[in-house]
Structure formats: structure tokens, C-alpha cells
């Protein structure tokens, strides 16, 4: 009798949980993990050598639809590696969106809108590598800066109109008199996609402004992508300006899906600071990506870089050049 009662109670609890889950909406769980082998060939003896690293993430996405037709989604992402932003298992991003005919509103800890619309030359490859000039302020890519924080913010994306998309986000640094608490970040982004003679052309632009005590820090990105069959071409320019920096980065990249799971790509870029005569960073990268099986990919990337500190070397950074070779084994679930 006792076993029958326990079994009946368990069934009732399971039914209740199932009903509550259905009422709460849908749950999707995904995960990815990457194992890295990185070989540094640098003129700086403190950087020269090799290492292993790993980057893993688990994402939980909850979805619901209201009677009025609104879509509500909540996503939380957990980083499980100390080398990828935290000490062990931590929450990397946590935000929810409300979507409808008016567009999409995002609230919480996630990137700003600029990262959603910016196009960079480095998009041609799956893995990026850059020289480790720790104290240098030079840019090492053509992506937009200032907007990659996962701090709490609000963002709004317009509903897509033909091939046009746009959005705005705002990060409130908080109250207080300290300069760090006045670093509000506002970002804008837009993109337009159209067909042209059988090719798909996308133009993306983004701008970010971070408030400062006396001078704002600003960043802009303008890029385009042309995709035709297995080939895609990327070109981009980014500008980063502050009280003593005026850095322009330019680059082009290309990728080609050879077939049978193999994709090859590469890019070249250059950055210089007009307020620091002679400061310059150049990078050339080639890559092969091979899908071993569904959900399992191997990537081999080789990047040559060269950094010149310039005449106004505020941070006493040393010149450096070298080659970075990276092997990545990626699994997705």
C-alpha cells in the first residue's frame, strides 16, 4: 500500500511539473566547447612558447508567447573555464527580450547593438589571433570597440524593413562622483542587405560613444560583405578616438567553402595611430576549417603580425613581431 501511495504521489508530481513547464513555455539547452593548442613564435622571449587552453559554454534559453502575441525569451549563458572570463562556472550573459510588431527590446547583461551590426575583415576566419602587446593602445582588428561588455543595459532593435535593420543600446554606468561611474555607453548600429547580380551584398555600420570626465571615447565601424555561392569577401574600416588616440584600422578578408566540409579563408589588416607618429600594427592570417562530423570541427589558423611602438611611446611598449599558430577542436551540442 505504501509503495502504491508513493508511486501515485510521484506520478502526480511529475504530471504537475509537466503541466507547469508547459505553461512556462519552452526550454532549449545548447553547449559548445573548444580545445586550443597555441604556438607563439615571438621576438619577445616572455611571450615565446606554446600552451593549451579551453573555452566552454552552456546556454539555457526559455521561450514563451503571450495571449496578445508577444514573444518573451530569456537566455542565460554559463562560462565553465577560468581562461574565458571567470573562475570556474559563472554566469557570462543573462538577458531577456520582448518581441512583437514594434521590434525587439533587450534588457539585461549582454553586448550592445554595435556588435550585432558591425562587419570586420576578420569575419572571414573562425579563429582570430593577435600579438600580446599588453600595454599598447593600438587596435589589432577592424571590429568596433567599447561595446563588447556584458554589463547591464537596455537595447532596442527596429523590426526588419526589407533588407534594413537598425538598433540602439544604452549602458548606464551608475550614480556617483567617481569618473568610473560616469562612463555611460551609447551605441547605434544598422545594416542593409540586397541582392546584386546573383550575389548578396550587406553593408553594416556602427558607432559607440563612452562618456568621460572631460573627453568622450568614440568608436565607429563601416564594413561590407559580398557573398556569392561558396565565396565571401569582407572589407572594413574602424576608427577609435579618445583624448590622445586617433586609431584607424583597415582590412580585407575572403573565405571559400571548398566542399566536403572544408572551408579556407584569410585576411590582412593594418592599424595606425595618427597622434602617435609611427605606431603601427599589421596582421596577415590564413585558416583552414574542416567539419570532421556533425557538431565536430577542426580549425588550423596561422597569423603573422608586426608591431611598431612609434615615437611617442607613452607605455614604453617594445616592438614585436612573430607568428601565432593555433589548432582548435570544437564540439557543439
Domain boundaries, the chain: 28-332
Per-residue pLDDT tens for 218-227? 999 999 999 9
Q: Do 281 and 292 meet the contact criterion of CB atoms below 8 Å apart?
A: no
Average pLDDT, the chain: 85
Name 232's Cβ contacts closer than 8 Å, sequence gap at least 6. Answer: 124, 225, 226, 254, 255, 256
* pLDDT tops 80 at residue 102: yes
pLDDT in tens, 134-147: 556 788 999 988 77
284-307 pLDDT per residue, tens = 999 999 999 999 999 999 999 999
pLDDT-derived band at 19, boundaries 50, 70, 90: very low
- Proportion of the chain above pLDDT 90, given as a percent: 61
225-238, pLDDT tens digit by residue?
A: 999 999 999 999 99
The CATH classification number of 28-332 equals 2.40.160.10
Half-sphere exposure (CA, 13 Å, Cβ side) for 101? 2
Please determine, for residue 316, whether its predicted confidence score (pLDDT) is greater than 80: no
Amino acid at each position: 500500500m505504501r509503495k502504491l501511495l508513493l508511486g501515485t504521489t510521484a506520478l502526480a508530481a511529475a504530471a504537475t511539473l509537466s503541466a507547469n513547464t508547459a505553461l512556462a513555455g519552452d526550454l532549449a539547452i545548447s553547449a559548445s566547447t573548444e580545445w586550443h593548442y597555441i604556438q607563439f613564435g615571438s621576438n619577445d622571449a616572455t611571450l615565446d612558447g606554446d600552451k593549451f587552453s579551453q573555452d566552454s559554454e552552456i546556454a539555457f534559453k526559455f521561450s514563451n508567447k503571450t495571449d496578445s502575441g508577444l514573444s518573451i525569451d530569456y537566455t542565460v549563458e554559463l562560462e565553465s573555464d577560468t581562461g574565458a572570463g571567470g573562475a570556474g562556472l559563472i554566469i557570462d550573459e543573462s538577458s531577456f527580450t520582448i518581441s512583437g510588431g514594434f521590434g525587439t527590446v533587450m534588457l539585461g547583461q549582454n553586448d550592445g547593438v554595435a556588435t550585432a551590426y558591425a562587419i570586420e575583415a576578420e569575419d572571414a576566419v573562425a579563429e582570430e589571433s593577435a600579438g600580446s602587446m599588453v600595454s599598447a593602445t593600438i587596435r589589432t582588428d577592424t571590429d568596433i570597440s567599447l561595446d563588447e561588455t556584458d554589463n547591464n543595459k537596455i537595447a532596442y532593435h527596429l523590426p526588419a524593413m526589407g533588407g534594413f535593420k537598425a538598433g540602439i543600446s544604452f549602458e548606464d554606468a551608475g550614480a556617483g562622483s567617481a569618473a568610473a561611474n560616469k562612463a555611460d555607453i551609447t551605441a547605434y548600429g544598422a545594416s542593409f542587405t540586397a541582392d546584386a547580380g546573383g550575389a548578396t551584398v550587406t553593408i553594416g555600420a556602427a558607432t559607440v560613444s563612452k562618456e568621460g570626465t572631460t573627453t568622450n571615447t568614440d568608436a565607429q565601424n563601416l564594413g561590407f560583405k559580398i557573398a556569392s555561392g561558396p565565396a565571401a569577401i569582407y572589407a572594413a574600416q574602424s576608427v577609435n578616438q579618445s583624448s590622445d588616440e586617433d586609431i584607424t584600422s583597415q582590412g580585407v578578408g575572403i573565405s571559400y567553402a571548398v566542399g566536403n566540409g572544408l572551408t579556407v579563408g584569410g585576411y590582412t589588416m593594418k592599424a595606425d595611430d595618427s597622434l602617435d607618429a609611427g605606431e603601427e600594427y599589421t596582421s596577415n592570417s590564413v585558416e583552414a576549417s574542416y567539419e570532421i562530423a556533425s557538431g565536430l570541427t577542426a580549425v588550423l589558423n596561422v597569423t603573422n603580425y608586426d608591431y611598431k611602438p612609434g615615437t611617442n611611446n607613452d607605455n614604453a611598449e617594445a616592438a614585436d613581431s612573430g607568428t601565432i599558430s593555433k589548432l582548435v577542436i570544437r564540439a557543439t551540442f
